[in-house]
Amino acid sequence: MIKETVLLFNFQDRTQLRKLEMLLLPMKIRLKKVAKEDYLKPLGSFVNSPDVTFSDTCYDGEELPAPMIVFVNLPGSRLDTILAGMRRNKIGPIPHKAILTQTNQHWNVLQCFKEIDAEHKAMTESSSLS
């Protein structure tokens, strides 16, 4: 079974990282900071998902333009607790967030970021039109 995990990408702010670690530690949720050279690997490979084909290809391109968080195997109530804790502890804002699914576990980091970024821009545009 896949452990409850939070995957971090391009998370550079050490103060924010420490706050997130302190939030997740008492909840016994694993925190994994993913290195840029691993961005071509499928998301599921970072949590040893049995359904994912692993890749050894290294990424040597640009860093993601913004931080991204992927939540793995977290029931809704636990996710709500984390998100509330992030707001309470002023972690963020981090608009690029996702939950690992059967579909996106096969995407690499760049594909996931692109999809989340497009959704975020669409939501931002529609809310500014209202």
Condensed to tens digits (0 to 9), the pLDDT of residues 93-116 reads 999 999 999 999 999 999 999 999
- What band does 50 get if pLDDT is binned at 50, 70 and 90? confident
Domain-wise residue ranges, the chain: 5-129
Give how far the C-alpha of residue 52 lies from the chain's centroid of Cα atoms, to the nearest Å. 17
Amino acid at 28: K
Instruction: Answer positive or negative: Cα dihedral of 67, 101, 18, 76.
Output: positive
Confidence grade of residue 79 (pLDDT, cut at 50, 70, 90):
very high
pLDDT band at 129 (very low <50, low <70, confident <90, very high): low
Evaluate the CA torsion angle 72, 9, 65, 18 in order and state its sign.
positive
pLDDT of amino acid 51:
86
